[in-house]
Structure 1
Amino acid sequence: MTVYIETFTVSSSRRKELIDVTQDVERIVKRSNIRNGLCTVFVPHATAAVIANEHESGLMSDILNALEELVPPDKPWRHNMIDNNADAHILASIIGPSRTFPVIEGRLIRGTWQNIFVVELDGPRPSRKVVVTVVGD
């Protein structure tokens, strides 16, 4: 079994933003030379997350709006007394910091409309780390 790990960074320009990293992840899977296995995309941040969904501007706005409605940033959260970003921490906890995808015959497997996004929840940030681990044969 082979383990291949590569890290890259993304930046955000808004407080909440979806950043499509699909092509970056697919390039890493190809470089790994792993034919069959698993690929995990992970963000080591307490206020960011990873999702798989359609890259369509209306849907992307809908997702961001739903996140705001689900966990309103202006609610009197206790953590806001420290950093004023409790909503970002709560949403990151709900969504999760990683997603795992199959790799079959050297290709990242995802649904027709599934792109991979880093979900920025506390931006803008000049640099967010993304760790991609490919494991297999």
Structure 2
Amino acid sequence: MPTVSVSTSEHLEVRDVTEEVTALLPEDADGVATVFVRHTTAGVTVNEAESRLLGDLSDALDGLVPDDGWAHDEIDDNADSHVRAMLVGPSVTVPVSDGQPDLGAWQSILLVECDGPRTRTLQVCPH
């Protein structure tokens, strides 16, 4: 299964990974591809990759989920990251035509880092 490593630099960060995903698709791929992040404190979604919107998404997740006050924090102090990642979800499935994600004009595949900085592994499964 093709994978790509993506490094992040912030605790809560949204990063466009469309190019990295596209590079893993066979040139003749047609159908769909599932993009899955193999971590419990990161998520994947599809939305616009405009820089202010990416910041707005980070701010929204930060506002929805408080940083502290969670029972799991007694173990490794990152319960907020787990909850934020659950809200986003671990995968997306996108249509693929001629080896390219067949996204809308403003759509991109986004990695949502909730416990960075880290290096994350994304699996790309063309079907």
Taking structure 1 as the reference length, the TM-score comes to 0.87
- How do 1:125-136 residues align onto structure 2 when only pairs under 5 Å count? 125=118, 127-135=119-127
Larger-Rg structure:
1
| C-alpha distance in structure 1 between counterparts of 2:86 and 2:93, whole Å | 17
Counterpart amino acid of residue 71 in structure 1: V
SS at match of 1:78: coil
**Alignment length, in residue pairs?**
127
> Do 1:43 and 1:129's aligned partners in 2 also have CA atoms closer than 8 Å?
yes
Listed as ranges, the gaps of 5+ residues in structure 2 are none
Aligned partners of 2:52, 2:27: CA distance in 1, in Å? 36
What's 2:45 paired with?
51
Contact 1:34 1:134 in 2 (8 A): no
Q: Give the match for residue 98 of structure 1.
A: 91
Task: Determine whether 1:64 maps to 2:58.
Answer: yes
TM-superposed deviation, 1:107: 2.7
Equivalent residue in structure 1 for 2:33, among 36, 39, 43: 39
Identical aligned residues as a percent: 46
Structure 1, unmatched stretches of 5+, are none
Given candidates 90, 94, 100, the residue that maps to 1:107 is: 100
SS of residue matched to 1:49: strand
Q: TM-score, normalised by structure 2?
A: 0.93
On the 8 A contact 2:10/2:117 being kept in 1, the answer is yes
SS of 2:77 mapped into structure 1? coil
The residue type paired with residue 28 of structure 1 is L
1:41 match: secondary structure: strand
Q: Conserved in 1, the CA contact under 8 Å of 2:34 and 2:92? A: yes
Shift of 1:90: 0.8
RMSD: 1.2
Matched AA of 1:13? S
Is 2:3–2:24's contact at 8 Å kept on the other side of the alignment?
A: no
Displacement of 1:34 after TM fit? 3.7
Query: Residue 6 of structure 2 corresponds to which residue in structure 1?
Result: 10
